[in-house]
């Protein structure tokens, strides 16, 4: 089994491609070792000690190294864990199925005004079809959190969370795209 790696715009994060589906649907972001207890794979990667984030995408795993950690020494250990996990066809989550684990509650979404339903639908469509695929190529994800008085609130995950270029991506890429197609959008903010 060959696991490819790719750099991401976030120098602290590497994207690992095992050549198979990681998540059948959705994504999962682990920002702490406690959150990682839901997954034997995430738990093992956090167990290396030099990891501050693990993110599961459709066909990749992004790993964020702690500040000051050299990827040259961490990468072989992450690759060994991934290789063992996927070669043994181990479950991604504890329990007999994905339903057997508890997902930490997501932060509360901003309450969208029902009068903005058409605008919100356009925003969600653009995020799902244009933004998320591009961000997944960089080892992360962006999740819609809400729309209020022209402002769109998004949560960045995986390689995008804490990336030095994420502000530029948000303002120069996503905000411009949304403002172009949805004139009611005046600003995009990360939450």
Structural domain boundaries enclosing 24:
4-88
15: domain CATH number?
3.30.1370.70
Residues 26, 84 within the same domain: yes
Asked if the structure places residue 98 within a domain, the reply is no
Asked if the structure places residue 147 within a domain, the reply is yes
Decide if pLDDT at 110 tops 80. no
Mention every residue, 6+ apart, whose C-beta is less than 8 A from residue 6.
14, 15, 17, 139
Asked if the structure places residue 109 within a domain, the reply is no
Q: Report pLDDT for 148.
A: 92
pLDDT digits (tens, 9 = 90+) for 130-153: 888 888 888 888 889 999 999 999
Residues 20, 81 within the same domain: yes
Residues 83, 141 within the same domain: no
Q: Report pLDDT for 108.
A: 53
pLDDT digits (tens, 9 = 90+) for 18-37: 999 999 988 999 999 999 99
**Which residue in 127, 169, 129, 132 sits closest to 152, CA to CA?**
127
Residue 68 and residue 42 in contact, taking contact as beta carbons nearer than 8 Å = no
Residues 121, 84 within the same domain: no
What the block records as the tokens of 176 is 């411009």
pLDDT digits (tens, 9 = 90+) for 45-90: 999 999 999 999 999 999 999 999 999 999 999 999 999 999 999 9
Asked if the structure places residue 176 within a domain, the reply is yes
Mention every residue, 6+ apart, whose C-beta is less than 8 A from residue 181.
122, 126
How many structural domains is the chain composed of? Answer: 2
Q: Report pLDDT for 99.
A: 40
């Amino acid at each position: 089994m060959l696991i490819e790696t790719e750099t991401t715009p976030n120098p602290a994060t590497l994207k690992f491609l095992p050549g198979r589906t990681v998540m059948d649907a959705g994504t999962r972001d682990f920002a702490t070792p406690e959150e990682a207890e839901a997954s034997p794979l995430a738990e093992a990667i956090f167990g290396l000690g030099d990891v501050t984030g693990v993110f599961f995408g459709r066909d990749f795993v992004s790993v964020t190294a702690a500040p000051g950690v050299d990827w040259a020494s961490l990468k072989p250990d992450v690759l060994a864990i991934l290789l063992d996990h996927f070669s043994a066809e181990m479950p991604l989550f504890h329990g007999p199925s994905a339903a057997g684990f508890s997902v930490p509650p997501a932060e509360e979404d901003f309450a969208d005004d029902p009068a903005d339903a058409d605008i919100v639908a356009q925003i969600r469509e653009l995020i799902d079809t244009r933004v998320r695929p591009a961000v997944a190529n960089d080892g992360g994800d962006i999740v819609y959190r809400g729309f209020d008085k022209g402002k769109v609130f998004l949560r960045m995950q995986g390689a995008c969370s804490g990336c030095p270029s994420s502000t530029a991506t948000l303002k120069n890429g996503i905000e411009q795209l949304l403002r172009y197609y949805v004139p009611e959008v005046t600003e995009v903010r990360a939450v």
